[in-house]
Amino acid sequence: MPRFLDCIIGPRVDQADLQHHSLRYGTPGFLLLVARVMLLVSLFIPYWQMDLVAPQYPENLHLTAYVNQLSGDVEEIDGLNHYIGMRSLNEAAQIERSVGVYVMIIFVVMLELASWIHSRWAVLLVLPAILFPGVFLLDLHLWMSHFGQNLDPSAPLSNAVAPFVPPVLGTGTVGQFKTVAWPGAGLWLAAAASLVMIVTLFFHRRAYLPLLKAQRAEKA
């Protein structure tokens, strides 16, 4: 095996040692499997939800965001937003929604590769998936801010509402309307997967760092 690949992959585990300490060496791979399953399941359930409380809608308007699509009362909300000069919700995060499923699949593949890496390089493969829930909320906030701060001045009610930033979590007020936003089950599941991955890194270090130190001592 080329030297640089050997450095990336890390020390191999002796079969006798593997059988004697199967739990120690098997735990990181098992936890990464759990994280992969959680990420895949999260693809099919909502990541973010919002209710628009409006006087003319007794049952409110509801918006649901998945990794790759928006659903709910999108047209009705766009109709209300049109009057204050806000662009259509479907114009937001088009690239993110078009690649969302593929990005998640890439995360799953990276976690699979990380289960075979016995060096610190495994952190680089796991880190993007750990950060994903936070990046999702940050990206959503930036889009909401962009839309709320760049209202069309020619809209019928453009003078009635000052530029605003709808909160991605919690309650906000826009004129006579109120928004209530909360994380969906998919985002909670992805966040739980991130915690599992962080725990995995602890067990990964505990399992393979002694082998790496022993390998370095042999070469010294």
Q: Give tens-digit pLDDT for 198-214.
A: 999 999 999 998 888 77
Closest of 29, 2, 3, 5 to residue 126, by C-alpha? 29
- The enclosing H or E element of 21 equals none
Mean pLDDT score, 110-119: 94
* 42 has pLDDT over 90: yes
Q: Specify the higher pLDDT residue, 212 or 151.
A: 151
pLDDT given at position 18:
73
Least confident of 128-137, 142-151, 155-164: 155-164
With b for 16 or more beta-carbon neighbours within 10 A and e for fewer, the 133-146 pattern comes to: beebbeebeebbee
pLDDT, tens digit, for every residue of 160-176? 888 889 899 999 988 78
What gap in Å lies between CA 201 and CA 121, rounded to an integer?
11
Mean pLDDT score, 174-203: 95
Q: Specify the higher pLDDT residue, 154 or 212.
A: 154
Q: Specify the higher pLDDT residue, 67 or 54.
A: 67
* 45 has pLDDT over 70: yes
The structure tokens listed for 143 are 């889009």
Burial (0-12, 13-18, 19+ Cβ within 10 Å), 36: buried
For 215, what's the count of Cα atoms within 13 Å in the CB-facing half-sphere? 15
Residue 169 φ/ψ, nearest 5 degrees: -140, 135
* 1 has pLDDT over 60: no
**In the structure, what pLDDT confidence band is assigned to residue 2 with cuts at 50, 70 and 90?**
low
Angle (nearest 5°) at CA 166 between 49 and 187: 30
Mean pLDDT score, 13-30: 86
Q: Provide, rounded to the nearest whole percent, the portion of the chain with pLDDT above 90.
A: 70
Mean pLDDT score, 150-163: 86
**In the structure, what pLDDT confidence band is assigned to residue 19 with cuts at 50, 70 and 90?**
confident
pLDDT given at position 20:
81
Whether the predicted model's global pTM rises above the 0.75 cut? yes
Angle (nearest 5°) at CA 166 between 184 and 59: 60
CA distances to 62, 99, 108, 114, 121 from 102, rounded to whole Å, are 27, 5, 10, 18, 23
Residue 177 φ/ψ, nearest 5 degrees: -105, 155
Write down the domain spans for the chain: 12-212
